[in-house]
Amino acid sequence: MKLIKTGIAGLDELLTGGIPPKIILLVGLPGSGNEVFAQQVASSRAKETPVTYFTINTTPDTIREDMAAYNWDITALEKSGNWKFKTLTGHKSLTQTILEEMKQNRTVIIDSISELLLVNKLEELIELLTQMSKQNTKCEQYHLLLMTTKMQDQLVETAIQHFAEGIIVFNTNWTKDPMQRDIIIKKMRGIFISERRIPYKISKRGFVIETATRIT
């Protein structure tokens, strides 16, 4: 199975080459860094493969401003067609809309599954994940789905995680001084990932893996 580099220094080495072409759930509380991770990885990926960034309630201008804070200028990528925004509205052709982008061999980012769950039934989201997995056997890209933990019922959250092919959990310990952050690769179908906490920080450069000596 081919692995695709994230573009984040240090992380690809720890992941033995990158992340696999799977439907990957990025789980974290607000401010945990999962959005920063998704935008950083997507902007790196868009230099090689077209990316479609789906939003629900957040405007493209807000995403552009957030990315500009880390000097991720996507203006040229948008002009070339390697980056485009699409807004998902309600129930209308949810699965079809996303699969159409995948069929064009585009990497898909969905920001966020939690917001979709406010207007869609769990069964519809499970169907989406199932169809995305089937479609991805043909195009073999990774696709990133953001989910805000504790925003939905625990049973719903568990069900979504069950149907995702990969799960990266973003942990933040707000009580520590200095604040501690780490990611855990909870699940990644198709490759072996050893259980470990990978410390990271959010800097002006975005998502940064901290020194390997702290990895447990």
User: Where are the chain's structural domains?
Assistant: 22-210
pTM: 0.93
b/e sequence 117-154, b meaning 16+ C-beta within 10 Å: beebeeeebeebbebbbebbeebebbbbbbbbbebbee
pLDDT in tens, 185-201: 999 988 887 778 899 99
DSSP state of 33: S
pLDDT at 21: 93
- DSSP-based three-state secondary structure for 89: coil
Position 214 confidence tier, pLDDT thresholds 50, 70, 90: very low
Torsion, Cα 111 195 171 24, to 10 degrees, reads: 0
pLDDT of residue 87: 92
> Do residues 112 and 145 lie in contact, with contact meaning Cβ atoms separated by under 8 Å?
yes
Question: Does 205 score more than 60 pLDDT?
Answer: yes
Q: Which CATH architecture group holds 22-210?
A: 3-Layer(aba) Sandwich (3.40)
Rounded Cα–Cα distance for residues 26 and 38 (Å):
8
Lookup: tokens for 171: 């942990």
For position 216, what pLDDT does the model report?
47
153 contacts: CB under 8 Å, gap ≥ 6:
none
What mean pLDDT do residues 113-124 have?
Answer: 93
